[in-house]
Structure 1
Amino acid sequence: MKPNILFIMADQLRWDYLGCNGHPHIKTPVIDALAKRGVNFTRTFIQAPVCGGSRMSFYTGRYAESHGAGYNGYPLRIDEKTMGDYLRPLGMRVALVGKTHMTVDNEGMARLGIDPNSDVGVQVAQCGFEPYERDDGLHPDQSVDPNLAYNKWLRQLGYRSDNPWHDFANSVEGDNGEVLSGWAMRNVGRPARVKEEHSETAYMTDRAISFIDEADGPWCLHVSYIKPHWPYVAPAPYHDMYSARDVIPANRSDAEKASPHPVVAAFMAHDESVNFSRDEVRELVIPAYMGLISQFDHHVGRLVAHLEKRGIADNTIIVVTSDHGDYLGDHWLGEKDLFHEEIVRIPMIVVDPRPSANATRGSKVDALVEAIDLAPTFLDWAGGEAEPHRLEGRSVAPLARGETPPWRDAAFCDSDFAPRHARRTLGLQPDQARAYMVRTERWKYVFYEEYPPQLFDLVTDPQELTDLVPGGKHESVLIEMEQRLFAWFRSLRSRVGISDAEIERRTGSAKKRGYLFGVW
């Protein structure tokens, strides 16, 4: 029987902010229990250090350098296949509840005459998913969507506002009852103005349960939660579940701040970095961030319990992951966009309830896994044929079963930070604001256009506090890592219109097909 796939993603959840991954204070009992029931892939890396680019790599199984949608607001080309395109022909219903951060290739749709309201048009516009409930969770006052389902639902419950997403779900009340916006981080120590059961996380869980109740036949449901992404506003009781005492010390050094790499220095000048460099900000915001994670964990538990209630838990594979991390003041930075472990390393827990995975329950796998591996993994679970001429990831299903297939010895990530202020600070043109990461067992190498690279020894310096390039003592390593990057560029899949198998079939067959060139 073809399994169901419950593909759960949190937005901006760091890999090390789970109990099962070693955080000393956070309470994530549900996810910790899932790790004991399945496999915890402890070294999983994203392919673009920002929401949109990372997610497009998850959904296409391709590096950002290949699909081109490497930053928020960059359209995903209409010719890119996504998870839905791979799984629907195999008889699976592929649906979305929550966020994709996908931008539509409107120019491509218009050129091909595709009606955005047609079945094909909707799938193309929704990143290959059936949009059971699409909500990217970013609805500032100036762009309120009057038809946003979550806003309409809140208004029906009595939350009177043109934009209850902001005025209630992501705002708090002051001492005199005044509304204080969650966009201002100084306010996030107070509870959201909605009840917990009316929060975004609870609402999306309700919608996912509704899908599960009505689904008939095998399905892949992407439940993509908006939190713990900013605004860092948590409802009671999660807003004060943690305090400053639970905040672990920032991973940063005075030397990093005194002589940073020029690109890192430009990001250090951003507002989010300046503010998160202050202890008072970290001690207020991080407890709210942790509360949102514990709330996420609780609602993952609701989904797991519902699978059991419906009697389908034994045939539903669960994947829990994140699209990237959050600096939270580490390395004197805020937000994301660069390549420290705090950003590019993500949680990845796979629970396959079928007997074939019994041998690995509760295990940890430290192989270098990439986000692009999920699309081919889902295709593998669904019984489809691999498409190595297009998919740049590889199935982790054998690893989850305890097998030891040939595996990669490096993970890659690339950043297109052209839309950030840092680019102008650096005086770069949009096509120059590029950076690439190569991460091996020991080394992390970062290549920047127009600037020197960075190199970290992850064995002697796992906190990535000392860039070895200024010392000039690792030239041989730099050459090796640059060669790895060049080899990766050459391996990217650009010939996607014809499979390797078809080329193999055609090879040397010209004469059989009547093309008699070169004959005497």
Structure 2
Amino acid sequence: MKTYLAATLGILIALSQISCTHSRTTAEKDRPNIILVMADDQGWGDAGYNGHPFVQTPAMDAMAKEGFVFDRFHAAAPVCSPTRASVLTGRHPIRTNVANYGHYLRPQEQTLAEILQSAGYKTGIFGKLHVGSAQPNTPCNPGGMGFDEWDIGLNFFDNDPYLSRNGTVEHYEGKGSVVLMDEALAFIERYKDGPDPLFAVIWFPSPHYPHAEVPDGPKLYEGKKHAGYFREITLLDEQLGRLRSELRQLGVAKNTILWYCSDNGGLLAESSGGRAKKGSIYEGGLRVPSIVEWPGQQLTGRSALPSSTNDLMPTLLSMAGVDARLRHPLDGIDISPSFDGSMVQRSKPMGFWHDFKDGDLTRSDQILKAIMEKQKAGVPRPHDPPRLLKDVNEFPDYPEEFSPGHAAWLDWPWKLHRIEGTTYELYNLESDPGEQTDLSDEEALQQHLEDMQQKLLNWQKSVVMSLNGEDYNSY
């Protein structure tokens, strides 16, 4: 195990609190605001604009009609925390040590928020974090990830949630999805007229189980299977509509990039958009809704380009005109050329890998309530120091060939699966989007199969080396 010195950790914490204060150039002042909105467990087919037979999603439908839709957009992982890490880093989440739910993003990672903060953005995150701590004095809280302000839960939450506002836990009343939108809109209104563009991350806790949040008005979907799940999707949609409306009323919609997606496939295989559902790296566990709008640039259309949450960071930096010095190799690419149709094929295949190691259960309300009580009493808080320094300064030493779980290599239209390092399956997604016909034994495809196997193996080795800390040795 390799251990970073305490002094190094102290420097990282200090640096994470420094925001850039240089005078703004005209180009910097004109940079777009960026707002990322993410659902928790909404499948590709769980929206009206993708053909769901009854769920009501008028805001998503309008956004899809007026904005730009990615039809083959994938979460980087089939569960929540890893995908969130991919959004923040542009890297496959195992590289960042977020190999499953509940693990913390390493503070050595360079985040989108840090880059935008250094480029003059005012940054905030609201809602479900699930890649770090909610307490102060740790590089694993949102402040250490580049966010100036934050009001977050550690995991999913529901009605009357406990949330941490910049390290101080408060108990809120109301529907969690409404509460977090209240906080996000307050952030936007507070800084909309300031000298800096805004970067806001809004990560909903819905439609994750237990589905206790319900929209106001008549009880929807009575008698339908999984009615609670679909009610929470409609509640989330109402809040997305509220955000879009407020951006227009505040006069900032024109120069705001708003990007909506989900963190993994849905809970129902029949509407997941592919084989299986959440928890699987078959298409049903990865394919998710994705819509982006930028009214000032009249961004409209629809693309079948294969893409993923790894692509958000390089794409947004390109759209915002931010030329960043990236410290680590990315798995994502800039897909903004797809907006005008000049990119119709992906230049870089996509790798997926799940069940590398177990998840870490995080009971958000239970943990945050205990922290709040200790904060009020002025006594040492629970989970200190383990949660404050979790995943910070110890690195594993896995063999390069370590390959547990289920991995896949998507080089459109071919998708190769590698299960527990030994079993292979090959599908042509263009002719077989449901991944039903395994072609790995087809004689005519053996050379192609071997080439894909080698590329997947090389990629998995690179991921293990990143996890072992190799990417951090150069600085």
TM-score for the superposition, normalised by structure 2 = 0.73
Find the counterpart in structure 2 of residue 404 from structure 1.
343
Find the counterpart in structure 1 of residue 4 from structure 2.
none
Cα distance in 2 for residues equivalent to 1:333 and 1:393: 24
Cα distance in 1 for residues equivalent to 2:321 and 2:282: 36
The correspondence for 2:96, drawn from 52, 61, 67, is 67
Find the counterpart in structure 2 of residue 373 from structure 1.
311
Cα distance in 1 for residues equivalent to 2:357 and 2:222: 37
Cα distance in 1 for residues equivalent to 2:164 and 2:341: 47
Cα 1:23/1:329, change in 2 over 3 Å:
closer
Cα 1:85/1:471, change in 2 over 3 Å:
same
Cα 1:418/1:498, change in 2 over 3 Å:
closer
Cα distance in 1 for residues equivalent to 2:35 and 2:342: 23
The 5 A counterparts of 1:108-507 are: 116-117=136-137, 122-123=141-142, 125=144, 127-138=145-156, 152-154=171-173, 198-215=174-191, 216=194, 217-237=196-216, 240-243=219-222, 283=225, 285=226, 287-329=227-269, 336-355=278-297, 358=298, 360-361=299-300, 363-387=301-325, 390-404=329-343, 407-408=346-347, 410-419=349-358, 433-469=404-440, 475-489=446-460, 495=471
SS of corresponding position for 1:319 = strand
Cα distance in 2 for residues equivalent to 1:305 and 1:236: 18
Asked if the contact 2:124–2:148 (Cα under 8 Å) also holds between the matched residues in 1, the reply is: yes
Cα distance in 2 for residues equivalent to 1:87 and 1:146: 25
| 1:462 partner letter | P
Cα distance in 2 for residues equivalent to 1:304 and 1:86: 25
Cα distance in 1 for residues equivalent to 2:309 and 2:132: 19
Asked if the contact 2:104–2:140 (Cα under 8 Å) also holds between the matched residues in 1, the reply is: no
Please report how far the alpha carbon of residue 450 of structure 1 lies from its aligned counterpart in structure 2 after TM superposition.
Answer: 4.6
Please report how far the alpha carbon of residue 477 of structure 1 lies from its aligned counterpart in structure 2 after TM superposition.
Answer: 4.4
Asked if the contact 2:117–2:147 (Cα under 8 Å) also holds between the matched residues in 1, the reply is: no
Cα 1:346/1:139, change in 2 over 3 Å:
closer
Please give the root-mean-square deviation of Cα atoms over the aligned residues, in Å.
3.5
Cα 1:13/1:136, change in 2 over 3 Å:
farther
**Structure 1: tracts of 5 or more residues without a match:** 107-114, 155-197, 246-282, 422-430, 500-520
SS of corresponding position for 1:313 = coil
Asked if the contact 1:409–1:441 (Cα under 8 Å) also holds between the matched residues in 2, the reply is: no
SS of corresponding position for 1:438 = strand
Q: How many residues were matched structurally?
A: 391
SS of corresponding position for 1:354 = helix
Asked if the contact 1:327–1:333 (Cα under 8 Å) also holds between the matched residues in 2, the reply is: no
Cα 1:334/1:101, change in 2 over 3 Å:
farther
Cα distance in 2 for residues equivalent to 1:408 and 1:146: 41
Cα distance in 2 for residues equivalent to 1:420 and 1:121: 17
Asked if the contact 2:177–2:206 (Cα under 8 Å) also holds between the matched residues in 1, the reply is: yes
Cα 1:213/1:139, change in 2 over 3 Å:
closer
Report % sequence identity.
28
Find the counterpart in structure 2 of residue 261 from structure 1.
none
Asked if the contact 1:368–1:409 (Cα under 8 Å) also holds between the matched residues in 2, the reply is: no
Residue deviations 1:43-90, cap 9 Å, x none? 111222211111111111111242221112223222101111111111
Find the counterpart in structure 2 of residue 255 from structure 1.
none
The correspondence for 2:116, drawn from 87, 90, 97, is 87
Asked if the contact 2:106–2:140 (Cα under 8 Å) also holds between the matched residues in 1, the reply is: no
Cα distance in 2 for residues equivalent to 1:375 and 1:312: 22
Cα distance in 2 for residues equivalent to 1:395 and 1:121: 27
SS of corresponding position for 2:132 = coil
Find the counterpart in structure 2 of residue 164 from structure 1.
none
Asked if the contact 1:327–1:342 (Cα under 8 Å) also holds between the matched residues in 2, the reply is: no
Cα 1:459/1:432, change in 2 over 3 Å:
closer
| 2:172 partner letter | W
Residue deviations 1:85-110, cap 9 Å, x none? 11111100111010121135x9xxxx
| 1:134 partner letter | I
Cα distance in 2 for residues equivalent to 1:137 and 1:66: 21
Cα distance in 2 for residues equivalent to 1:376 and 1:475: 35
Is the radius of gyration larger for structure 1 or structure 2? 1
| 2:289 partner letter | P
Cα 1:131/1:146, change in 2 over 3 Å:
closer
**Structure 2: tracts of 5 or more residues without a match:** 1-29, 361-401
SS of corresponding position for 1:324 = coil
